[in-house]
Amino acid sequence: MINKFTLEYAQQLDAQDPIAHMRDEFHIPKQANGEDEIYLCGNSLGLQPKRTAEYLNYELTQWQKLGVKGHFSGEFPWMPYHEFLAEESAKLVGAKPIEVVCMNSLTANLHFMMVSFYQPTTKRHKILIEEHAFPSDHYAVESQIKFHGYNPQDSMLLVKPRDDEDTIRTEDILTIIEEQGDEIALILLPGVQYYTGEVFDMQAITQAGHNQGCMVGFDLAHAAGNIVMQLHDWNVDFAVWCSYKYLNSGPGSVAGCFVHEKHHNNKDLPRFAGWWGHNKETRFEMENTFIPMQSTEAWQLSNPPILSLAAIRASLDTVKQAGGIEVLRTKSIQLTAYMRECLEQELGDKISIITPKSSKASGAQLSIIVYGDVDGKAVFDAIEAKGVTCDFRHPNVIRVAPVPLYNSYQDAYKFVNILKEALS
């Protein structure tokens, strides 16, 4: 049997990788010695595509030359700018272009979605989330419950892994929905769990929720640009995501939002409205009657920050150049599997990986726990000093994200080698 844990083998895999050239489309941060960092932190902040500066500079120049006229002239007029992002954003989540819009930030979108899709009654007032959801999601849910005059103690239903397990079983989520569904107003779960990297079965959860009359929404912060989804066909009610993790649109860049088209014409849905959600044909007539657009754009409030949308356009064009999310996912599965295999072969007695092994239940992330009395943070500091950028989550998890757009098989090999040295 050949030993896959060699630099030569990793180089061979890179040579066979049909999208290896995409790495050149990105700025890779450098170590002090001038070599590329081993950047495995794309689940936190994705790297900058080289074309981003060009797209941003184009809009800066338009503003210099045209002033206010830039809203209606140039190749990408600002007034409909968000429309230029719809088609490619929709492909990432498996939606129709009218079902997605880039607006606001992630947590803000979560709140705006709950304004529309969390309508508690005395009988049905609960929100089902994970016990250890990303804190922002937890706070948003808790505050919405209080805002409606309910008590989070009674109205927050928390699902967690079984004792001695790290990830949540789909069957356990489905059981809770079956048993308590008539009290659940909203199910809000991640597409990909940020800590463990577990992919949730969004289709099964949505189906189970709808069987019980619940609304079902997903936070796709770690799923968008990472895994393939079919939100429209799965009949998901709404979803939100950020664009700065796997979507490489820069720190704090504008977020994404999906609302299924079945809700677009529902006049009974409450909504916090703004002028950018008003019918675009009559928006500038400045009348006082709000006429919502017949699309997810109806949830827009303000005219958006164009420089941020330009960065998203750069990112989406980069994904398109690579061949789309399916192509990325194919490499992602292989690259993550290679890294996992090397870790298990070389360090199986020193670490464990809490991310599920099956490619159906995991994306471009491995969450590694170091065994025994070893101080996880000290290991993290040691590998960082050797050029690895990843992240550490208390108490002892090291998260690494081999991103198919810009990470190589050599990155995976080098990371395992450096971790091995740090642990020996």
Ligand X SMILES: *Cc1c(COP(=O)(O)O)cnc(C)c1O
Residue 336's CB is within 10 A of a number of other CB atoms, namely 25
194 binds ligand X (CB under 6 A): yes
Among 12, 105, 235, 303, binds ligand X (CB under 6 A): 105
One-letter amino acid for residue 374 of the chain? V
221 binds ligand X (CB under 6 A): yes
Of the two residues 259 and 293, which places its CB atom closer to ligand X in the complex? 259
Distance between CA 304 and CA 301 in Å, rounded?
9
Of the two residues 134 and 413, which places its CB atom closer to ligand X in the complex? 134
Site for ligand X in 107-126 (CB under 6 A): 107
Shortest Å distance, C-beta 200 to ligand X = 12
> Can you say whether the dihedral through the CA atoms of 285, 286, 289, 290 is positive or negative?
positive
134 binds ligand X (CB under 6 A): yes
Please choose, out of 84-92, 123-131, 218-226, 295-303, the segment that lies near ligand X by the rule CB under 6 A: 218-226
Of the two residues 194 and 234, which places its CB atom closer to ligand X in the complex? 194
Both tokens of residue 179? 């048993």
397 binds ligand X (CB under 6 A): no
How many CA atoms does the CB half-sphere of 408 hold within 13 Å?
23
Shortest Å distance, C-beta 411 to ligand X = 22
Distance between CA 57 and CA 50 in Å, rounded?
12
One-letter amino acid for residue 293 of the chain? M
Q: What angle do CA 132, 337, 30 make, to 5 degrees?
A: 80
Of the two residues 205 and 242, which places its CB atom closer to ligand X in the complex? 242
106 binds ligand X (CB under 6 A): yes
Please give the distance of CA 224 from its chain centroid, rounded to a whole number. Answer: 4
137 binds ligand X (CB under 6 A): yes
Residue 164-193 contact track with ligand X, rule CB under 6 A, x = bound:
--------------------------x---
Of the two residues 104 and 116, which places its CB atom closer to ligand X in the complex? 104
Please choose, out of 50-58, 215-223, 227-235, 306-314, the segment that lies near ligand X by the rule CB under 6 A: 215-223
222 binds ligand X (CB under 6 A): yes
Shortest Å distance, C-beta 224 to ligand X = 10
Evaluate whether 381 touches 318 at the Cβ level (below 8 Å): no
Longest dimension (CA), the chain: 74
Distance between CA 103 and CA 308 in Å, rounded?
10
200 binds ligand X (CB under 6 A): no
Distance between CA 199 and CA 227 in Å, rounded?
9
Of the two residues 107 and 367, which places its CB atom closer to ligand X in the complex? 107
How many residues make contact with ligand X (CB under 6 A)? 12
- CA distances 7 to 11, 259, 402, 413, 415, Å, are 6, 46, 17, 7, 11
Q: What angle do CA 247, 253, 254 make, to 5 degrees?
A: 95
C-alpha torsion angle, residues 370, 374, 379, 380 (rounded to 10): 60
Shortest Å distance, C-beta 5 to ligand X = 31
Distance between CA 363 and CA 361 in Å, rounded?
7
Of the two residues 140 and 416, which places its CB atom closer to ligand X in the complex? 140
Of the two residues 60 and 158, which places its CB atom closer to ligand X in the complex? 158
Of the two residues 312 and 343, which places its CB atom closer to ligand X in the complex? 312
Among 31, 119, 136, 334, binds ligand X (CB under 6 A): 136
Alpha helix (H) residue ranges in 280-396: 306-322, 325-347, 376-385
Shortest Å distance, C-beta 138 to ligand X = 9
Both tokens of residue 404? 């198919």
246 binds ligand X (CB under 6 A): no
Question: Which positions touch ligand X (CB under 6 A)?
Answer: 105-107, 134, 136-137, 190, 194, 219, 221-222, 242
